[in-house]
Amino acid sequence: MLQAHPDLKAADARVVAAQAQADNLSRPVYNPDFGVGSEHGQSQSLEARLSQTFDLSGKREARRASGQAELAIAVAERTEQRQRIATDVLKALADFYGQIAASSLAEQRLELLERFADVADRQYQAGDIGVLDRDLAALARAEAIAVTGRAELNLLKAQQALDAATRHPGYPPPSLPDQLPESGLLNADYNTLAAALPGVRAALAKTEAARAEIDIARSETRSDPTVGVRGGFQENRGGGSGGSLVGLELTIPLFLRNNFKAQVAAADARASAAGIESDASYRLAVARMKAAATQYSRTHTAWMRWNGLSSARIDASVDLLDKVWRVREISTAEYLVQFRQLLDGRAAGAELRAQTWASWAEWLDASGLWQAWLDAAATSDSLNPTASSGK
């Protein structure tokens, strides 16, 4: 699914372009020159010239290093792009399945409150409850209808966000694993992980590219000589003797009006800036990784604590609450308050699960451990693109 993403295709094209440019920059800087000339006057001459500029200043090597650094940047940025897309997709999946759960809960709420309102209406007709209790039940049903409508709208928005993340509308979304990853899977070796991050590698490659530009600028301040050879013949129109011509020439540029020192200083300044940004990128990656690990650890702990209550206990409480109300041990108002608390607790659990998955996506993005997790998840039925469960 991700391989067909247009942003990844564009990144692949940039890598191909960078590879072609690197190949070009690794080739010789100068091509030979060939020329033919003639002269007509008191004498007539014809000559051919061949010249070649020799790279003695190291331009080719400096350009080759620059091309390789740019290629490394393109490759690292493609990996970073793939990781960013995967993060967006997993977050969108977490929200999508979270909204599916919320929509299901809203439908259950509506079903229960419709049944409750029907019972309340029958009891009112029988004279067992007053008009206030009947109206409270009717209002609760109306509220449940509104909640169901909002849930359906939120689910539609989540589907649209998932389609936008995958850029593949209509593609069956993969299911999430049944169990959230354990917080013990968080790797504490932040420094090693940060050094391997594609964003950090790209920043380092940009520094190398900037340093290569210094070498290129310096090579421009050194002269590359041009050696030429020419040969031909000359014939006098007055009948004098002619002869063949052979000559050599040496040309050396003189940097009198522009010694290119300014561009060396500019390249050096850009390399210093790139080095500062690379160091900052590494430190920011470590800080972000620590924050992501802390966030996931806390949300996972909260989810485990909530899950320990079990949804079965909440279902049992709803059934018990209904029985208590039917025997008039609690009022209709008290029933509705406790009923809402129970269902809100169940909805909070579904939302917390989605938030925990989103936190896991942040950790994978911050640590760069996407591929390791995907490889592990691929061994199970999770992340199966043909699945459509609402886990």
The reported pLDDT for the residue numbered 253 is 87
CB 232, CB 45: distance < 8 Å: yes
The reported pLDDT for the residue numbered 391 is 37
151: Cα separation from own chain's centroid: 29
In whole angstroms, give the CA distance from residue 270 to residue 212.
Answer: 11
Closest CA to 99 of 382, 385, 347, 356: 347
Please provide the DSSP assignment of 323-366 as one string. Answer: HHHHTTSS-HHHHHHHHHHHHHHHHHHHHHHHHHHHHHHHHHHH
Closest CA to 343 of 22, 105, 53: 105
Specify the 3-state DSSP secondary structure of 384: coil
Question: Which residue reads 């690794």 in tokens?
Answer: 26
Query: What are the start-end ranges of the H helices in the chain?
Result: 6-25, 59-125, 131-166, 190-196, 198-220, 261-307, 311-326, 332-367, 370-378
Inter-helix orientation angle 261-307/332-367, to 10°: 140
Local confidence pLDDT in tens for the 391 residues of the chain: 567 788 888 999 999 999 999 999 999 999 999 988 887 766 777 888 999 999 988 899 999 999 999 999 999 999 999 888 888 888 898 899 999 988 988 898 888 888 888 888 888 888 877 888 888 888 888 988 999 999 999 999 999 999 888 887 777 787 888 888 887 778 778 899 999 999 999 999 999 999 999 998 999 888 889 999 988 887 776 655 567 878 898 888 888 888 888 989 999 999 999 999 999 999 999 999 999 999 999 999 988 888 776 655 666 677 777 777 777 777 778 878 887 888 888 888 888 989 999 999 999 999 888 888 877 766 655 554 433 333 3
The reported pLDDT for the residue numbered 239 is 57
CB 368, CB 196: distance < 8 Å: yes
The reported pLDDT for the residue numbered 328 is 73
